């Protein structure tokens, strides 16, 4: 079946550094990917929609300059958390839409801890 891979699965960084998380569709092309953030014991909150070859569409309240999204190819979207602070510590999950069928697949998530 289709697989979406996220890397890294977990990362610990110091406050003020930037962290990049990758989301790859391994065996299908994905023109659209989505980035979600999930705090402990809470639901997934959609952060942005990532479209291949164009700018991401951010949800209300999500700072586009803080959460940089790049979708440079049909199989890869990256989320960069710039100048990370402890409040950015969260579980970040991506999903990818298979271009020819519209099916949606989720990655395993990336846990970010900012010290």
Partner 1 sequence: SQQGEEDPQALSIQEGENATMNCSYKTSINNLQWYRQNSGRGLVHLILIRSNEREKHSGRLRVTLDTSKKSSSLLITASRAADTASYFCATRQGAQKLVFGQGTRLTINP
Cα angle 44, 45, 47 (rounded to 5 degrees) comes to 130
Interatomic CA distance for residues 58 and 80, integer angstroms: 14
Q: Quote the least distance from Cβ 96 to partner 1, whole Å.
A: 11
Q: Quote the least distance from Cβ 18 to partner 1, whole Å.
A: 24
Looking at the Cβ atoms of 44 and 82, the one nearer to partner 1 is 44
β-partners of residue 78 are: 22, 70
Q: Quote the least distance from Cβ 42 to partner 1, whole Å.
A: 7
Q: Quote the least distance from Cβ 101 to partner 1, whole Å.
A: 12
Cβ neighbors of 102 (< 8 A, separation 6 or more) are none
Looking at the Cβ atoms of 3 and 16, the one nearer to partner 1 is 3
Burial 32-60 (b: 16+ CB within 10 A, else e): bbbbbbeeeeeebeebbbbebeeebebee
Q: Which residues bind partner 1 (CB under 8 A)?
A: 6, 32, 34, 36, 41-46, 49, 59-60, 91, 93, 95, 97, 102, 104, 106-109, 111
Looking at the Cβ atoms of 6 and 78, the one nearer to partner 1 is 6
């Amino acid at each position: 079946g289709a697989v979406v891979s996220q890397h890294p699965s977990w990362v610990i960084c110091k406050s003020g550094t930037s962290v990049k998380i990758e989301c790859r569709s391994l065996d299908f092309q994905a023109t659209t990917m989505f980035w979600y953030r999930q705090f402990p014991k809470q639901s997934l909150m959609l952060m942005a929609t990532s479209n291949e070859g164009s700018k991401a569409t951010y949800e209300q309240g999500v700072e586009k300059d803080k959460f940089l999204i790049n979708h440079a190819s049909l199989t890869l979207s990256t989320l960069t958390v710039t100048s990370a602070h402890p409040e950015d510590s969260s579980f970040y999950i991506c999903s990818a839409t298979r271009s020819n069928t519209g099916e949606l697949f989720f990655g395993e998530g990336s846990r970010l801890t900012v010290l």
